[in-house]
Chain A
Amino acid sequence: MLKHILTSLTGGPVTEAAPSPADPALAELAGKLDKAAKARLGRSLSIREVDAGSCNGCELEIHALSNPIYDLERFGIRFVASPRHADVLLVTGPVARNMREALIRTWDATPGPKWLVVCGDCAVSGGLFAGGYACVGPVEEVLPVDLRIPGCPPRPTDLLAGLLALLETSAAR
Chain B
Amino acid sequence: MYGEEPLFGLLNRIGTPVESHRPWPRYRLGRDGWLRLIEELAGNGWSLLGLWGEPKAVHAAFREDFSGDVAVVSLDCPQGRFPSLSAVRPAANRLERAAHDLYGLVAERTTDPRPWLDHDAWGVRRPLSEQPAAPVPSPGPYTFLPVEGEGLHQIPVGPVHAGIIEPGHFRFTANGETVVRLEERLGYVHRGVEGLMQGRPVAEAARLAARISGDATVAHSLAFARAVEAALGIEVPARAVWLRALMAELERVANHLGDIGAICNDAAFAFMLAQTSQLRERVLRTADACFGHRLMMDRVIPGGVATDLPERGAGLLRDLVAELRKRFPPLVAIYDGKASLQDRTVTTGFVSAELVTRFGAGGHVGRASGRDQDSRRSPGYAPYDELTFEVPVLTEGDVNARVWVRIREVEQSLSLIEQIVVRLPAISRGLDHPSVPVEAGRGGEGMALVESFRGEIMTWVRLDGEGAVARCHPRDPSWFQWPLLEAAIGGNIVADFPLCNKSFNCSYAGHDL
Contact = CB atoms under 8 A, between A and B. Distances in A.
The answer to whether A binds B is yes
A60 interface: yes
Contacts of B392: none
A101 B196 CA distance: 23
Nearest to B205: A128
Contacts, number: 145
A122 B195 CA distance: 17
B9 interface: no
Contacts of A96: 188-191, 512
Given A57-B297, A133-B192, A153-B295, A81 B163 contact: yes
Contacts of A83: 160
Interface class of chain A by DSSP: mixed
A51 interface: yes
Contacts of B123: 97, 133
A56 B509 contact: yes
Interface in B210-238: 211-215, 217
Interface string A86-118: 000000011011111110001000000000000
Given A57-B215, A101-B121, A64 B509 contact: no
Interface stretch (B83-91, B276-284, B307-315, B431-439): B276-284
B334 interface: yes
A61 B294 CA distance: 9
B191 A132 contact: yes
A82 B160 CA distance: 9
A66 B159 CA distance: 23
Contacts of B187: 98
B127 interface: yes
Contact of B159 (A55, A56, A63, A102): A102
B350 interface: no
A139 interface: no
Contacts of A50: 160, 167
A82 B508 CA distance: 21
Interface in B116-135: 117, 119, 121-124, 127
Nearest to A152: B297
A142 interface: no
B364 to A, nearest CB: 17
Contacts of B280: 64, 67
B160 A106 contact: yes
Interface string B484-513: 000000000000000000000001110010
B105 to A, nearest CB: 17
A59 B165 contact: yes
A135 interface: yes
Nearest to A14: B278
Contacts of A1: 334, 337-338
A97 B121 contact: yes
A135 B196 CA distance: 11
Q: Which of A14, A55, A96 has the most CB of B within 10 A?
A: A55
Contacts of A63: 164, 258, 277
Contact of B119 (A49, A67, A69, A98): A98
A93 B337 CA distance: 40
Given A67-B277, A97-B122, A100-B121, A60 B195 contact: no
B164 A132 contact: no
Interface in A33-92: 49-64, 66-69, 79, 81-83
B192 A134 contact: yes
B195 A54 contact: no
Contact of B295 (A57, A69, A94): A57
Given A64-B281, A68-B277, A98-B188, A54 B214 contact: yes
A58 B189 CA distance: 14
16 contacts: A4-B275, A51-B189, A54-B189, A55-B214, A57-B214, A59-B165, A64-B277, A64-B280, A68-B278, A96-B512, A97-B123, A98-B512, A99-B188, A131-B196, A133-B123, A133-B124
Given A64-B280, A81-B162, 7 more contacts: A51-B166, A97-B121, A99-B167, A133-B122, A133-B127, A133-B195, A155-B294
Interface of B: 117, 119, 121-124, 127, 159-160, 162-167, 187-192, 195-196, 207-208, 211-215, 217, 258, 271, 274-275, 277-278, 280-281, 284, 294-295, 297, 330-331, 334, 337-338, 507-509, 512
